[in-house]
Amino acid sequence: MVAERTAQRVTRRRVRTRANLLDAAFEVFAAKGFGRVSIEEVCEAAGYSRGAFYSNFDSLDELFFALYRQRADLIAEQVADALALDGPALDVPESVDRVTEVLLLDVEWLLVKTDFLVHAARDPAVAQSLLEHRERLRAAIADRLARATGHTALPAVFDGIDGAARAVVAAYDGVTTQLLLDKDVDSARAWLKQLLTALLTDGSGTPE
């Protein structure tokens, strides 16, 4: 029993250490940019030694990807949860309202995300991992649209649910790029709401 309790304390401490390293890395990456940050800077920001770092991550690249995955998974969950509230039917304007209200729109996150995209563009292995995570977001949207088939007619130009889901992700990418430049979160939410409603309906705000 003593050994078991000790092991549990070690596990909890390691989980906390990993979370603190990720939080510190987020702040440092957002402030300086990936490629300009050292392991020592992350450790200093988190208040840990290099040993604590290497007990959780093999490299700065691994930490960077863990950070991206953490935020990308959060966004996928936000979208899925917001879309799940309609039941079998899908009220597009109401669903869009919920998604845009809860969706993570954070300039510091966008700075880190942009760094990661550039990094992935130069590394095929990282690019593949990034594509897999973006697919999760698209799949969450497509799944919700699929379960609403028969209740909501999507614009024919998308040639089906998969095309509509890709358009939603593309709209998010475009709006967040603008947000990265003007840092106007309220305008970003309003513009995303208008754009998604137009994409998923006939443009009037009501399903076809």
Stretch 117-122: mean pLDDT: 88
Q: CA 84, CA 64: separation in Å to the nearest integer?
A: 30
Residue 201 has pLDDT above 90, yes or no: no
Residue type, 132: E
Assess contact for 82 and 99: CB atoms under 8 A.
yes
> CA geometry: angle at 185 spanning 181 and 187, to 5°?
90
Give me the pLDDT at residue 16, please.
92
Give me the pLDDT at residue 47, please.
95
Residue 207 has pLDDT above 80, yes or no: no
Under the banding of pLDDT at 50, 70 and 90, the label for residue 32 is very high
Residue 152 has pLDDT above 80, yes or no: no
- Can you give the pTM of this predicted structure? 0.72
**Choice among 35-39, 98-102, 144-148 with the minimum mean pLDDT:** 144-148
Give me the pLDDT at residue 3, please.
40
Residue 159 has pLDDT above 90, yes or no: no
Phi, psi of 49 (to 5 degrees): -90, 170
Spatial CB neighbours of 175, under 8 Å, sequence gap ≥ 6: 188, 191, 192, 195
Residue range 4-23, pLDDT digits in tens? 444 455 578 889 999 999 99
Stretch 152-163: mean pLDDT: 73
Residue (of 15, 44, 18) closest to 31 by Cα position: 44
